[in-house]
Protein backbone atom coordinates (compact mmCIF):
# COMPACT_ATOMS: atom_id res chain seq x y z
CA UNK A 1 0.00 0.00 0.00
CA UNK A 2 0.95 3.61 -0.37
CA UNK A 3 -0.13 6.46 1.82
CA UNK A 4 -2.25 9.05 0.03
CA UNK A 5 -3.20 11.28 2.96
CA UNK A 6 -2.10 10.54 6.53
CA UNK A 7 -4.58 12.81 8.33
CA UNK A 8 -7.50 11.73 6.16
CA UNK A 9 -6.39 8.09 6.51
CA UNK A 10 -6.48 7.31 2.77
CA UNK A 11 -4.29 4.70 1.14
CA UNK A 12 -3.77 3.20 -2.29
CA UNK A 13 -3.35 -0.54 -2.77
CA UNK A 14 -3.55 -3.30 -5.34
CA UNK A 15 -6.06 -6.08 -5.80
CA UNK A 16 -4.89 -9.13 -3.86
CA UNK A 17 -2.68 -7.18 -1.49
CA UNK A 18 -2.87 -8.26 2.16
CA UNK A 19 -3.43 -5.64 4.85
CA UNK A 20 -2.92 -6.13 8.58
CA UNK A 21 -4.03 -3.80 11.36
CA UNK A 22 -2.78 -4.08 14.94
CA UNK A 23 -4.18 -2.23 17.95
CA UNK A 24 -2.55 -1.76 21.36
CA UNK A 25 -4.28 -0.08 24.30
CA UNK A 26 -2.49 2.14 26.82
CA UNK A 27 -4.11 3.16 30.11
CA UNK A 28 -7.55 1.88 29.16
CA UNK A 29 -9.48 -1.34 28.90
CA UNK A 30 -9.31 -2.53 25.28
CA UNK A 31 -12.73 -1.58 23.85
CA UNK A 32 -12.45 -1.76 20.08
CA UNK A 33 -14.76 -2.82 17.25
CA UNK A 34 -14.30 -2.71 13.51
CA UNK A 35 -16.55 -2.71 10.46
CA UNK A 36 -15.15 -4.19 7.28
CA UNK A 37 -17.25 -4.66 4.15
CA UNK A 38 -20.31 -3.70 6.17
CA UNK A 39 -19.78 -6.38 8.82
CA UNK A 40 -19.10 -5.25 12.39
CA UNK A 41 -17.06 -7.35 14.83
CA UNK A 42 -15.33 -6.90 18.18
CA UNK A 43 -11.55 -6.75 18.16
CA UNK A 44 -10.29 -8.54 21.30
CA UNK A 45 -6.98 -7.47 22.80
CA UNK A 46 -4.01 -8.94 20.94
CA UNK A 47 -5.96 -9.96 17.83
CA UNK A 48 -5.05 -8.64 14.40
CA UNK A 49 -7.34 -7.50 11.61
CA UNK A 50 -6.17 -9.17 8.42
CA UNK A 51 -7.80 -8.88 4.99
CA UNK A 52 -7.04 -9.02 1.28
CA UNK A 53 -7.92 -6.11 -0.98
CA UNK A 54 -10.58 -7.07 -3.53
CA UNK A 55 -11.64 -3.53 -4.41
CA UNK A 56 -11.99 -0.15 -2.76
CA UNK A 57 -12.16 -0.93 0.96
CA UNK A 58 -13.45 1.03 3.94
CA UNK A 59 -12.34 -0.05 7.41
CA UNK A 60 -14.17 1.76 10.18
CA UNK A 61 -13.03 1.31 13.78
CA UNK A 62 -14.47 2.47 17.09
CA UNK A 63 -12.45 3.02 20.26
CA UNK A 64 -13.63 3.66 23.78
CA UNK A 65 -11.86 4.55 27.00
CA UNK A 66 -12.29 3.75 30.69
CA UNK A 67 -10.09 6.32 32.39
CA UNK A 68 -11.18 9.94 32.56
CA UNK A 69 -7.54 10.96 32.92
CA UNK A 70 -6.89 9.84 29.36
CA UNK A 71 -6.04 6.74 27.40
CA UNK A 72 -4.54 5.93 24.05
CA UNK A 73 -4.62 3.33 21.31
CA UNK A 74 -1.75 2.68 18.94
CA UNK A 75 -3.08 1.56 15.56
CA UNK A 76 -0.58 0.18 13.06
CA UNK A 77 -1.37 -0.53 9.39
CA UNK A 78 0.96 -2.73 7.36
CA UNK A 79 2.39 -2.94 4.76
CA UNK A 80 2.74 0.73 3.84
CA UNK A 81 5.66 1.59 1.61
CA UNK A 82 7.74 4.57 2.65
CA UNK A 83 6.74 4.40 6.32
CA UNK A 84 9.20 3.33 9.05
CA UNK A 85 9.18 -0.50 9.24
CA UNK A 86 6.52 -0.31 6.51
CA UNK A 87 3.97 0.42 9.21
CA UNK A 88 1.75 3.50 9.25
CA UNK A 89 1.08 4.34 12.90
CA UNK A 90 -1.84 6.33 14.28
CA UNK A 91 -2.50 7.25 17.89
CA UNK A 92 -6.10 7.52 18.97
CA UNK A 93 -6.39 9.54 22.18
CA UNK A 94 -9.41 9.77 24.41
CA UNK A 95 -11.80 10.07 26.01
CA UNK A 96 -14.25 10.63 24.44
CA UNK A 97 -15.37 7.71 22.29
CA UNK A 98 -13.58 7.78 18.91
CA UNK A 99 -14.33 6.66 15.37
CA UNK A 100 -11.68 6.26 12.67
CA UNK A 101 -12.44 5.48 9.04
CA UNK A 102 -9.58 4.16 6.89
CA UNK A 103 -10.13 4.12 3.14
CA UNK A 104 -8.03 2.05 0.77
CA UNK A 105 -8.47 2.69 -2.93
CA UNK A 106 -7.35 0.06 -5.40
CA UNK A 107 -6.00 0.84 -8.85
Nearer of residues 30 and 78 to other proteins, judged by Cβ: 30
- Residues 76 to 95 in contact with other proteins, rule: CB under 8 A: 93-95
Among 55, 82, 84, 107, binds other proteins (CB under 8 A): 55
Rounded distance between C-alpha atoms, residue 50 and residue 47, angstroms: 9
Does residue 37 contact residue 57 with C-beta atoms inside 8 Å?
A: yes
3-state secondary structure of 85: helix
38 is a site residue for other proteins (CB under 8 A): yes
d(CA 65, CA 37): 25
Contacting residues toward other proteins, per CB under 8 A? 4-10, 12, 26-35, 38, 40-44, 55-56, 58, 60, 62, 64, 66-70, 72, 93-103, 105
Amino acid sequence: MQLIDFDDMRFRGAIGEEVTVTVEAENTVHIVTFTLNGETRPLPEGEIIRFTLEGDTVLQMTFDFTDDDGGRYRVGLRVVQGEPDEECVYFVDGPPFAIRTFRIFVD
